[in-house]
Chain A
Amino acid sequence: MPHPNGGNLSMVLPRSKLARREALEGYIFLLPWVLGFLAFHFGPLLASLYLGFTNYRGSTAPQWIGLENFQRMFADDPLFWQSLKVTVLYAVGFLPLGLVIGFGIALLMNQKVPGITLFRTIYYLPSVMTGVAVAILWQFVFHREYGVLNHLIGFFGAEPIAWLNNSTWVLVAFVIMGLWGVGGGMIVYLAGLQAIPTELYEAAGIDGANSWQRFWAITIPMMTPTIFFNLVTGLIATFQIFTTAYIMTQGGPNYGTYFFSLNIYYTTFRSLRLGYASALAWMLFILIMTLTLLVFSTARRWVYYAGEKAETA
């Protein structure tokens, strides 16, 4: 057999000729992923783990320095703490707002009123428009003198804000920009809302529950898996924010948007401290993993899976 592991696998593989043929085909069809995984995920992952313990700078061979990179990070690198701080602040500002507003809009979009599909399209559109062009567009929206946002808040008597030139307001600006793309989460919520069996509402209606009670007793519990999904994916994405900050502020003003990913990028390609940047990247990975696992560990308490419950009941 042409399969490299054919000999070893014959013990594990099902006996029948047909099943063995199917297994072989299964592995062959999977090759595009297996090879890609080894070459572009697993191999590089190990390599960067190794580099994280070296002082590699790209020119000379990497030298093993043990935990020094991580020690320096915690004890002797204010930029690491700054990048951690602004990333966490941004996540804390954006994620809860994004979840609540996205959910609220989805409830609105779930109404059966004429023309609702057009509104769904309009609300979803900004979330797919990402990248450099959108960063440039927002840069002018936030312009202190000639931007449309300061003009709008002027109607309410507010003074013009230097959105992108003030290290506090700049995070607010990024949260606003993030909320503009809330339609992505909204679509997922909407799909979740439409998957709730209508019988549940009918039964509750017969029992005399008002719409507020139905919302708390049916909609919210049935939506917890979707909220959970949006929370986890949102968390992973939010901690890696890069393009908008790279284009609009380059991490400024005064490191106010020096997000974790920008720190990694600049440490790699400006300071050429590849070993230290690898350690930083692993730190980001560990941070995201820890937070995700934390969310997962709380899931048992608040995420309700209809199928699971039915078995124990």
Chain B
Amino acid sequence: MSNWTASSPPTATEPIRTQRTNRGLGMRQRRLIGLGLTYALLLVGTAVLMIPFFWMISTSLKSLDEVYIYPIQWIPSQLVWANYVDVFVKVPFARYLYNSAFIAFVAIIGNLLGSSLAAFSFARLRYPGKLFLFVVMLSTLMVPAWVTMIPHFMLFKWLGWLDSYLPILVPAFFAQPFFTFLLRQFFLGIPLDLEDAARIDGCSSLGIYWRIFLPLARPALITVAIFSFFYYWNDLLYPLIYLQSQDKFPVAMGIATFRSEQYANFALMMAAATLALLPMLIVFFLAQRLFIQGVVITGVKG
């Protein structure tokens, strides 16, 4: 029963007798063939998806001569680790990493605070106009960032925030619609009894939010933190618009300029790309279960 998708159509039309005798063998064989096919497909897909990564790492460890050999070399004849050192020597890559980590850290704190407060309000407090406001919030998810880009730029320029992290970090502290929605879905699942008991004991809404909802929502908060990390680590548009000094660049911006300087040196660029992806890979493997859960909450229950 659990293998319903793997097995082929049952042979219901066959005469009962032959069906009885053939079934054991036929089913087992079919199941084995199905299993073999499944694994074959899975492995082909894995190879296709992993080739770009493999190519990146392989190129990052080649000497420049070997990068430009035709036909291509799959594996470097000797591993040139110096490429990775060069990335740090030729550009302030350590600085970029630090900047990215700083931006992501502050923005994640902001996202968690702002979004969880609004989510608590939407999930657990009763007041007139709540549904309307909730719909308004969800509808802002449809507004492309391009529509607000120019007024944002004018606003932040007027505030004197150009070439600083403020245009990136300050908005992070106001509830993000997507994260608010995700946290609200999670908060809705927390039993009412807990809240009622706390209220009877004289606990305020702020106390309930801080002492009951936040601790219980840890998996959802971590999910938000991960999504948020990936967003701020990858984002190019905002740094591109607002940052001018190279020592303020995050990794995304840093390797974008690196690319225009070292256009021909693919070995170095691949080393830089590998280094930029590494933190995301680590976070992904540490937290993939929660990450996938977050997708489930928004995609199916929403």
Interface 1/0s, chain A 184-214, versus B by CB < 8 A? Answer: 1001100110010010011001001011101
The stretch that binds A, out of B75-83, B140-148, B214-222, is B140-148
Q: Given the complex, which residues of A lie within 8 Å of B42, measured CB to CB?
A: 108, 119
Query: A32-B174, A108-B42, A211-B7 known; A137 and B52 CB under 8 Å?
Result: yes
Distance of B243 from chain A, by nearest CB (Å): 13
A36 / chain B contacts, CB cutoff of 8 Å: 114, 171, 174-175
Task: Select which of A13, A32, A202 is within 8 A of B117 by beta carbon.
Answer: A32
Q: Roughly how many angstroms separate A242 CA and B292 CA in the complex, as a whole number?
A: 25
Q: Does B99 contact A (CB under 8 A)?
A: no
Closest partner residue, chain A, to B13 (CB atom): A208
- Decide if A201 touches B149 in the complex (CB within 8 Å): no
- In the assembled complex, the Cα of A136 lies from the Cα of B259 at a distance in Å of 8
Q: Are A201 and B174 in contact (CB under 8 A)?
A: no
In the complex, what residue of chain A is closest to B2 when comparing beta carbons? A112
Q: Main secondary structure on chain B at its contact with chain A?
A: helix
- Name B209's contact: one of A29, A214, A243, A268 (CB within 8 Å): A29
- Inside 8 A of B147's CB, which chain A residues have their CB? 44-45, 48, 278, 281-282, 284-285
Q: Tell me the smallest distance from the CB of B131 to a CB of chain A, in Å.
A: 12
| Chain A contacts for B145, CB-based, 8 A | 240
Size of the A side of the interface (Cβ < 8 Å), in residues, is 106
| Minimum distance in angstroms from B60 CB to a CB of chain A | 10
* Tally of contact residues, B, Cβ under 8 A: 105
B234 touches A131 (CB 8 A): yes
Contacts of A145 in B (CB 8 A): 68, 70
Interface set, chain A 276-313, CB cutoff 8 A to B: 277-278, 281-282, 284-285, 288-289, 292
Q: A22-B125, A32-B175, A137-B273 are in contact. Are A132 and B152 (CB under 8 A)?
A: no
Instruction: Return the contact of A134 from the options B71, B148, B277, B295 (Cβ within 8 A).
Output: B277
Given A43-B151, A192-B299, also A32-B146 (CB < 8 A)? no
Instruction: Report Cα–Cα, A60/B181, bound state, in Å.
Output: 41
A122 to B150 CA separation, bound complex (whole angstroms): 39
Residue of B at shortest CB range from A47? B151
Contacts of A265 in B (CB 8 A): 146, 237
Question: Would you call A22 and B49 a contact (CB within 8 A)?
Answer: no
Contact across chains for B295 and A188 when beta carbons are under 8 A apart:
yes
Which residues in chain A, 27-85, are within 8 Å of chain B measured between CB atoms?
27, 29-37, 39-41, 43-45, 47-48, 51
> In the bound complex, what is the Cα–Cα distance between A295 and B16 (angstroms)?
49
From 121 to 172 in chain A, residues with beta carbon under 8 angstroms from any chain B beta carbon are 121-126, 128-134, 136-138, 140-141, 143, 145-148, 151-152, 154
The smallest C-beta distance from B210 to any residue of chain A, in angstroms, reads: 11
Interface hub of B147, B154, B173, B280 (most chain A Cβ within 10 A) = B147
Does A146 contact B72, Cβ atoms closer than 8 Å?
yes
Residue picked from B6, B70, B140, B149, most chain A C-beta under 10 Å: B149
Interchain nearest-CB distance for A49 vs B (Å): 8
Residue contact B126 to A137, C-beta cutoff 8 Å: no
Alpha-carbon distance A83/B52, docked complex (angstroms): 28
* Most chain B beta-carbon contacts within 10 A, residue among A29, A33, A191, A192: A33
Check if B50 is an interface residue, CB within 8 A of chain A: yes
Q: Chain B, 272-291, contact with A by CB distance < 8 Å: what is the 0/1 string?
A: 11101100110011001001
Q: Chain A residues with Cβ under 8 A from B2's Cβ?
A: 112
Known contacts A48-B147, A145-B70; decide if A226 and B299 are in contact (CB<8 Å).
yes
Residues of A within 8 A of B126 (CB): 14, 19, 22-23, 26
Q: Which residues of A contact B108 (CB under 8 A)?
A: none
- Whether A30 pairs with B133 at a CB distance below 8 angstroms is yes
Residue of A nearest to B125 (CB): A26
| Nearest Cβ on chain B to A114's Cβ, whole angstroms | 9
Interface-side segment among B17-25, B33-41, B86-94: B33-41
Determine the residue in chain A with the shortest Cβ distance to B237. A242
**Inter-chain contacts of B136 with A (CB < 8 A):** 37
Docked-complex contact A125 and B284, CB < 8 angstroms? yes
Q: A12-B128, A124-B292 are in contact. Are A133 and B150 (CB under 8 A)?
A: no
Bound CA span A102–B165, Å: 37
User: Which of A32, A122, A264 has its CB near the most chain B CB atoms (within 10 A)?
Assistant: A32
B300 CB within 8 Å of chain A: yes
> Would you give the shortest CB distance from B231 to chain A, in whole angstroms?
9
Cα-based distance from A195 to B299 in the complex (angstroms): 11
- Complex formed: what's the CA distance from A285 to B126 in Å? 33
Cβ contacts under 8 Å, A105 to chain B: 45
24 A/B residue pairs, CB under 8 Å, sorted by A = A29-B118, A30-B121, A32-B117, A36-B171, A108-B41, A113-B39, A123-B49, A125-B49, A129-B277, A129-B281, A132-B236, A132-B259, A133-B251, A133-B272, A134-B273, A134-B277, A136-B272, A137-B273, A138-B52, A191-B300, A214-B4, A243-B237, A265-B237, A284-B147
B residues in contact (CB < 8 Å) with A: 1-10, 12, 35, 38-39, 41-42, 45-46, 49-53, 55-56, 59, 67-72, 113-115, 117-118, 120-122, 125-128, 130, 133, 136-137, 140, 142-155, 171, 173-175, 177, 180, 205-206, 209, 230, 233-237, 241, 251-253, 255-256, 259, 266, 269-270, 272-274, 276-277, 280-281, 284-285, 288, 291-292, 295-296, 299-300, 302
